[in-house]
């Protein structure tokens, strides 16, 4: 009988070190049937490696314990990075089934490592004696991080409580996975099919063309199909004259996961919240938020609440004035209805045209995706000297993906960047940066990372290329900022590389990049009309800047509302027995949210906190907003957006350092002082007498 394992090993690309250029995953050779065997074998190999470390008779040392752990599990890391990235960016029923099957297995595997008592004793001994071990700063940080991960994962618990923790972790792993799969199913399930041309009134030509193509692909040629993907639903809400249809698609969007069907997420949310609270209590914390925030810049839920509440009333005041203006516009038109949430985007766009003589559709011809890509890369070149070369022959996981070699000005390799821009049924919504391999050092040589940014931008329509909204342009700059954090990482150990920092610091590199997107000097670098190649006119740039604080009351309040909802869920100290919808209503009532606005994410589709790793951490975007606006001021103050002294300081002290030092230490090394809130308030147009320091 043939050796099945040896055949599998030979045929499975995960079982050997990648021989591809730049050691990227061999996507062209990876098949779905390769994932499960590689995951199982990866867990088996890592378990053997961990056992060898834990039961070694040698006295614990950095090399035989911490470094050995750092280098263990390479097969599992290799297959997991591909599998879970594809589950987000290009999934199908088979991949989702494997994910559901493997989630509790992987959770148990992690627990077997982190709850291994002999292993913990070795780590603890090294931490307790680290001052006498002659370790460098980065080694000490890795020992500290490793020790903390054990303690925070239950290493000090008794055996009975460890058993409880294992059960909780297994349940949470599956619940989070189910939440995300339900949301994707709900997003893909809805279609607004229009067969009357008059119902398209107000919609931009590009959106109508895209809807016609979508309808044709679904077997409904001659009609127009709109979906809950952002490039479809958001402009529909912004431009459609038909109020009843706006209401229909808005309700479908805001009721995802809340339809009492097979993909309902309400019970999943309640169970996740209760299990997280139970886990936090088991580990000795007051609530889940206290557990999470201990390892962030905020440190406590109280500090996170403080910043949110400090911004709430000023933002609410501005949003109230915005609502008044929109209602006045409705009344002046002779309509007899009260402003509703599904009216906000529509009448805001009408008010923008009236007040600033700017239709956002005027901007899109200047934002073809190819030109925006040139602009984003061009900013990185001017700031950091980076060069980008497209590689058309590199293996890719989807035909829409592009790959770039990123290098220094002198040609030194930096890493590989994948870009994946358009929505599809196999991809979850939103935009994110991820990695297939993180930067590290081996034998004194820098091993380059493989980074990917995934978005859901407007697709090409007809003869036109993909034309982005300015919001999509900003999203591109944001995610690219994350990618720079991963690409420019220059640390020794993978566990400290790139984005391995706290949630309320990780958004600094991404959000600071957004600031360059709207600068006239930068816009003129890339904003060219896709037909004529004409540079965006000064008059249009002026209009864009005049709208800089327009609708910021709404934007800030919907974000703050979601952040408060997140913290309210995760500061629960008793079992959540209420219906999730009721809890959400009470949370928003307590905050004082106006009826015309709902949280940016309602509970049942709040993927960030229930399936995306941001639990008790959604506040971090505004926390980092204080950092990024203050940091960008450092450039503005010099009179040079590409000031090389500031750029190199930001690169050396933030982008290259990963998690090797405390975030505020790194920030102060760049800026020279802690940040203030003044720049953020100015940027958003929120009138408030600021405190000198807030974070």
Helix (H) or strand (E) holding 243: helix 243-254
**Which own/partner pairs from 268-272 qualify as long-range (CB within 8 Å, at least 24 positions apart)?**
268/175, 268/178, 268/179, 268/182, 268/610, 269/179, 269/569, 269/580, 269/603, 269/604, 269/606, 269/610, 270/576, 270/580, 271/171, 271/175, 272/172, 272/175, 272/176, 272/179, 272/610
110: which 2 tokens?
Answer: 């992690």
Question: Three-state DSSP class for 201?
Answer: coil
91: which 2 tokens?
Answer: 């999934």
Q: Which of 322, 479, 514, 633 is catalytic?
A: 479
Question: Three-state DSSP class for 657?
Answer: coil
Q: Distances from the Cα of 382 to the Cαs of 83, 401, 522, in angstroms?
A: 35, 25, 10
525: which 2 tokens?
Answer: 């670098």
Residue 424: phi and psi, rounded to 5, are: -160, 165
Cβ atoms 522, 375 nearer than 8 A = yes
- Per DSSP, 60 falls in state P
Question: Three-state DSSP class for 192?
Answer: strand
Q: Which of 170, 166, 145, 169 is nearest to 157 (CA)?
A: 166
Pairing of β 387-390 and β 402-407: antiparallel
283: which 2 tokens?
Answer: 């580990």
Cβ atoms 414, 488 nearer than 8 A = yes
Instruction: Please state at what angle helix 243-254 crosses helix 230-239, rounded to 10 degrees.
Output: 140
Residue 420: phi and psi, rounded to 5, are: -140, 105
Is 479 among the catalytic positions?
Answer: yes
Alpha helices in 283-361 (DSSP H): 288-293, 301-332, 344-356
DSSP for 252-300, written as a single string = HHHTTT-SSSTT--HHHHHHHHHHHHHHHHHTT-SSHHHHHHTTSSS-S
Question: Three-state DSSP class for 240?
Answer: coil
Q: d(Cα 114, Cα 46) in Å, to the nearest integer?
A: 12
Residue 468 burial by Cβ neighbours in a 10 Å radius (0-12, 13-18, 19+): buried
Instruction: Please state at what angle helix 552-570 crosses helix 620-636, rounded to 10 degrees.
Output: 140
Spell 129-153 as b/e; 16+ CB within 10 A means b: ebeeeebeebbbbbbebbbeebbbb
Return the active site residues.
479
């Amino acid at each position: 009988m043939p050796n099945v394992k040896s055949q599998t090993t030979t045929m499975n690309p995960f079982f050997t070190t990648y021989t591809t250029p730049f050691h990227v995953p061999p996507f062209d050779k990876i098949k779905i049937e390769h994932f499960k065997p590689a995951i199982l074998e990866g867990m088996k190999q890592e378990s053997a490696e961990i056992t060898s470390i834990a039961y070694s008779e040698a006295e614990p040392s950095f090399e035989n314990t911490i470094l050995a752990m750092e280098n263990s599990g390479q097969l599992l890391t290799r297959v997991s990075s591909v599998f879970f990235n594809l589950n987000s960016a290009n999934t199908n029923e088979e991949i989702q089934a494997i994910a559901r099957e493997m989630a509790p297995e992987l959770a148990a595997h992690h627990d077997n490592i982190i709850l291994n008592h002999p292993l913990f004793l070795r780590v603890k001994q090294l931490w307790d004696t680290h001052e006498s071990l002659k370790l460098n700063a980065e080694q000490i940080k890795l020992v500290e991080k490793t020790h903390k991960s054990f303690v925070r994962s239950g290493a000090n618990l008794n055996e009975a409580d460890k058993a409880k923790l294992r059960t909780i972790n297994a349940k949470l792993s599956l619940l989070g996975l189910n939440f995300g799969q339900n949301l994707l199913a709900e997003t893909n399930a809805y279609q607004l099919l229009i067969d009357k041309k008059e119902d398209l009134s107000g919609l931009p030509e590009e959106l109508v063309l895209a809807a016609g193509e979508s309808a044709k692909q679904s077997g409904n040629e001659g009609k127009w199909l709109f979906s809950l993907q952002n490039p479809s639903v958001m402009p529909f809400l912004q431009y459609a004259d038909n109020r009843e249809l706006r209401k229909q698609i808005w309700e479908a969007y805001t009721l995802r996961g809340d339809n009492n069907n097979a993909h309902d997420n309400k019970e999943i949310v309640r169970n996740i919240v209760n299990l997280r609270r139970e886990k936090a209590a088991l580990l000795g914390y007051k609530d889940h938020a206290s557990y999470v925030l201990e390892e962030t810049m905020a440190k406590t839920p109280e500090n996170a609440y403080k910043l949110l509440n400090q911004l709430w009333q000023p933002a609410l005041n501005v949003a109230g004035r915005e609502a008044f203006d929109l209602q006045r516009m409705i009344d002046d038109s002779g309509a007899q209805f009260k402003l509703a949430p599904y009216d906000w985007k529509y009448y805001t766009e009408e008010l923008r045209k009236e007040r600033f003589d700017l239709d956002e559709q005027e901007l899109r011809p200047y934002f073809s995706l190819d030109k925006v890509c040139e602009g984003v890369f061009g900013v990185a070149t001017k700031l950091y000297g980076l060069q980008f070369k497209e590689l058309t022959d590199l293996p890719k996981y989807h035909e829409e993906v592009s790959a770039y070699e990123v290098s220094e000005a002198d040609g030194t390799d930096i890493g590989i960047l994948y870009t994946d821009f358009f929505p599809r049924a196999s991809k979850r919504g939103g935009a994110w940066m991820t990695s297939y391999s993180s930067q590290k050092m081996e034998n004194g040589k820098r091993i380059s990372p493989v980074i990917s940014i995934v978005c859901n931008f407007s697709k090409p329509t007809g003869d036109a290329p993909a034309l982005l909204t300015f919001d999509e342009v900003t999203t591109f700059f944001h995610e690219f900022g994350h990618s720079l954090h991963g690409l420019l990482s220059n640390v020794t150990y993978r566990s400290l590389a790139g984005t391995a920092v706290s949630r309320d610091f990780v958004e600094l590199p991404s959000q600071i990049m957004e600031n360059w997107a709207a600068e006239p000097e930068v816009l003129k670098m890339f904003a060219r009309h896709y037909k004529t190649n004409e540079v965006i006119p000064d008059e249009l740039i002026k209009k864009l800047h005049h709208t800089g604080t327009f609708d910021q009351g709404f934007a800030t309040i919907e974000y703050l509302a979601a952040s408060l909802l997140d913290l309210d869920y995760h500061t629960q100290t008793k079992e959540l027995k209420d219906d999730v919808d009721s809890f959400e209503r009470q949370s928003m009532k307590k905050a004082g949210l106006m009826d015309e606005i709902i949280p940016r994410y309602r509970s049942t589709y709040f993927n960030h906190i229930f399936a995306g790793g941001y639990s008790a951490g959604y506040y971090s975007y505004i926390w980092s907003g204080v950092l990024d606006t203050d940091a960008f001021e450092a450039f503005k103050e010099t009179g040079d957006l590409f000031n090389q002294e500031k750029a190199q300081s930001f690169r050396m002290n933030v982008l290259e350092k990963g998690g090797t030092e405390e975030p505020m230490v790194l920030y102060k090394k760049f800026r020279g002082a802690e940040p203030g809130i003044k720049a953020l308030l100015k940027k958003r147009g929120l009138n408030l007498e600021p405190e000198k320091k807030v974070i």
